[in-house]
């Protein structure tokens, strides 16, 4: 049962019209999806939540903004939703600008939202997991084809338009799992990899997870980095023009940016990339552990910098772009190699 009725939620939202929905939900002790539900019949419509239903219908809007976040990082990309490929456990969308990995089992509640704005209606599609936490959002822009909005909503509208949601308890992040007795097996399996995607199968077989494996693998596979390494890397990448890949996700979605970054700005606890068609917002004060990681691929070693919060949850991963050519790869690898490790700073 929600801590507040739909009427109370609407009143709280009216009292703080400029507050972000996520922040309002936190202040009320409710899930963000409950704010959308409270607005059903006015600004929101409950729609089918499965990505196989939603994704193909988004193409007609043309350029939109794709937003994915976790507790510590937000990624926003502008592009067209096309080339969607469904799958029983994971879907995929890869085109020139929108690059997504979709996990349908976590797409549980969805809303088409139309709010009044100073320059006309603000329209968005918002998807939430079983606990009511945001999985993915699609925001229409001035250049989007808004004429498709009505047909889109009608095609996906649910019979159930209740203003109260049945939510499940929020699942905490998986704690780091290491198995030091099998560290040599981990290193041998690491040597044998030919694709980065094989890593999760390896750690699962050894009863570990990503962060647990990083903590025990040691050189040359992993190097724990000093604080502020992510910030230093982003500034260096912007200065060098080297293309990068940034992965940000949650249980239901991973969103990826590929390309160079140019404008990096620090504001309060946030470090931000503010480029045309791509924004990234990362809470620097949430980073508890950062690692430089090397995994074998058929194109050569893939070097990444990966950061985790104090609970052990993955915040973001930053890779070089192997297909960008030898010069770009060498430039990226040099940026990573220049980052100080934790032990050097501690000494």
pLDDT band at 118 (very low <50, low <70, confident <90, very high): confident
Residue 344 is predicted with a pLDDT of 58
Long-range contacts of 300-306 (CB under 8 A, 24+ apart): 300/329, 301/333, 302/196, 303/332, 303/333, 303/336, 304/336, 305/225, 305/229, 305/230, 305/233, 305/336, 305/339, 306/210, 306/214
User: pLDDT for 5-50, tens place per residue?
Assistant: 999 999 999 999 889 999 999 999 999 999 999 999 999 999 999 9
pLDDT in tens, 143-180: 999 999 999 999 999 999 999 999 999 999 999 999 99
Query: What contacts 208, CB < 8 A, 6 or more positions away?
Result: 177, 178, 179, 182, 186
Residues in the chain: 347
Residue 120: band (very low, low, confident or very high) from pLDDT cuts 50, 70, 90: confident
> What mean pLDDT value characterizes the chain?
95
Q: What percent of the chain has pLDDT over 90?
A: 93
- Cβ(301)–Cβ(293) below 8 Å: no
What's the mean pLDDT in 195-203? Answer: 93
What's the whole-number mean pLDDT along residues 331-336? Answer: 97
**Which of the 8 DSSP states describes residue 5?**
-
- Reported as a pLDDT band with limits 50, 70 and 90, residue 2 is low
pTM flag (> 0.85): yes
Confidence grade of residue 241 (pLDDT, cut at 50, 70, 90)? very high
Confidence at 256, pLDDT banded by 50, 70, 90: very high
């Amino acid at each position: 049962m929600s801590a507040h009725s739909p009427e109370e939620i609407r009143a709280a939202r009216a009292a703080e019209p400029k507050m972000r929905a996520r922040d309002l939900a936190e202040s009320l002790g409710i899930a963000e999806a409950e704010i959308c539900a409270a607005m059903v019949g006015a600004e929101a419509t409950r729609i089918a939540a499965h990505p196989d239903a939603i994704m193909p219908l988004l193409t007609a809007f043309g350029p939109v903004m794709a937003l994915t976040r976790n507790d510590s990082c937000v990624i926003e990309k502008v592009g067209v939703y096309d080339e969607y490929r469904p799958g029983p456990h994971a879907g995929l969308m890869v085109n020139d600008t929108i690059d997504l990995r979709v996990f349908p089992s976590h797409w549980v509640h969805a809303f088409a939202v139309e709010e009044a704005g100073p320059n006309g209606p603000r329209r968005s599609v918002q998807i939430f997991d079983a606990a009511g936490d945001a999985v993915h959002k699609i925001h229409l822009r001035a250049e989007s084809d808004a004429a498709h909005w009505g047909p889109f909503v009608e095609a996906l509208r649910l019979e159930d338009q209740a203003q109260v949601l049945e939510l499940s308890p929020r699942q905490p992040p998986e704690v780091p799992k290491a198995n030091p007795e099998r560290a040599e097996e981990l290193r041998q399996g690491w040597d044998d990899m030919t694709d980065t995607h094989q890593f999760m199968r390896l750690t699962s077989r050894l009863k570990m997870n990503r962060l647990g494996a990083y903590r025990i693998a040691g050189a040359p596979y992993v190097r724990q980095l000093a604080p502020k390494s992510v910030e230093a890397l982003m500034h260096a990448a912007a200065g060098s023009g080297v293309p990068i890949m940034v992965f940000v996700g949650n249980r239901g979605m991973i969103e990826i940016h590929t390309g160079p970054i140019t404008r990096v700005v620090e504001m309060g606890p946030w470090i931000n990339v503010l480029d045309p068609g791509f924004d990234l917002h990362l809470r620097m004060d949430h980073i508890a552990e950062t690692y430089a990681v090397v995994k074998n691929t058929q194109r050569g070693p893939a070097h990444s910098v990966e950061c985790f919060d104090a609970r052990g949850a993955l915040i973001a991963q930053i890779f070089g772009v192997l297909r960008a050519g030898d010069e770009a790869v060498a430039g990226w690898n040099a940026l990573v190699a220049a980052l100080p490790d934790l032990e050097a700073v501690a000494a």
